Amino acid sequence: MSIIIEEGFGGKRSRNRTGAEQEVIYNILNTRDEDEAYAALYGHVIRNAPMLNDLPLESVETVSNEDGGKLCIGTVKYSNKKPLRGINVPLHSFSTKGGSARIIYGLALVNQYGDGIPNFGTGINYEDQKFQGVDIVVPKWSETIEITVPRTVVTNRFKRMLRGLTGKVNQHSFLDMDPGECIFFGVDARPGEVEVDGQTLPLLTYDLTFEFHAMPNVENIMIAAGIGPVKKDGQDYAWVYSVDAVDPFSNKLIKKPKGAYVVRVYDRVDFGVLGF
C-alpha cells in the first residue's frame, strides 16, 4: 500500500507573533517507519511546498504515532532566519558524452583474412582460450542537480536517506528516463559560503550536488551471432555463455557463443523522494 501524505489537524500555524517562523503538520499514512516517512515527506515538500508565505524551508522532521497504527506525524518548519539566495532552487547540468563498455562479441563479422585460420564469428581478440573483447563507446547520459538547502535540513536522517539511495536504480520514470535506466551515483555536500568585503563567510546552508548516470533500455538487440533478440534494461548486466567447439575451417578448438543471460545487479527504488 502506497504512502499517503495529508495536512494534519491544525494545518499551518505561526511559531511567533511576527509570522516570520511558521510550521505545517502532516499525517503520513501507511507506514510506521520514520525513515520511510521522512523520505516520502521530504520529497513531497520539495516538490510542492519549498516556500510558505515567502519563507524558505527550515527543517523536516517525522516521528511515529505514539498511539500505534501505520501512521507517522511530520513537522515542516519555515523561517526567514536562513539566507534566501537560491534556497531550494535546483539547477540542472547534463552531458551526453558516450560512456565506455567492454564487449566480447560484435554485431557482425565483416571479413577475415588468412589461410587456415579459425572462424571466430563475432568474437573479439581471442587469446588464452577466451575472447578478451574490446572497449567501445556506448550511449550514456549523465546529469547533476545542484540545490542549496538550509543546514537544518541536513540531519542524520537526511544523510541516511541519501546513503540508502546511492547505487540504486530508478523504479519509476525519473527525469524523463524510463524505469531501469538511471543510477544514482550519490551526492557531494559542502557548506555554503559568501564573499563579503574580500572575506569568505559561512552561510547557514549546504550546497548539494546530486549525480545521476543513465544507459538506455533496449528491446531488440543481437548480443552475439545467433543469440537474440535480447531485451535488457540499461542498468542490468548481460553476458554470453560460450562453449568449446571445433572450428571446421582450421580444425582447432575454439569458443562459440551458446546462450546469454541478463542479470539484475542493482536494487530499484523510488527516486521521487528527492523531489526533482
The per-residue b/e assignment along 55-87, b for 16 or more CB within 10 angstroms, e otherwise, is bbbbbbbbebeeeeeebbbbebbbbbebeeebb
Percent of the chain with pLDDT over 90: 36
> What's the pLDDT at 168?
97
Check residues 62 and 109 and name the one with the higher pLDDT: 62
Beta pairing, strands 268-269 & 169-170: parallel
Dump pLDDT digits (tens) for 204-258.
788 999 999 998 898 877 777 778 788 999 999 988 888 888 888 888 888 888 8
> What's the pLDDT at 121?
79
pTM, rounded to two decimals: 0.72
Task: Give the type of residue at 184.
Answer: F
> What's the pLDDT at 196?
62
Dump pLDDT digits (tens) for 149-202.
888 889 999 999 999 999 999 999 999 899 999 999 999 999 887 666 677 666
> Helix H segments across the chain?
34-48, 156-165
Q: Which domains does the chain have, with CATH numbers?
A: 1-81 (3.30.1360), 82-276 (no CATH)
Spatial distance between the Cα atoms of 138 and 72, rounded to a whole number of angstroms: 45
Q: What is the mean pLDDT of the chain?
A: 85
> Helix H segments across 154-251?
156-165
**Residue 34 scores a pLDDT above 70:** yes
DSSP for 72-133 reads EEEEEEEETTS--TTBT--EEEEE---EEEEESB-S------SSS----TTB--EETTEE--
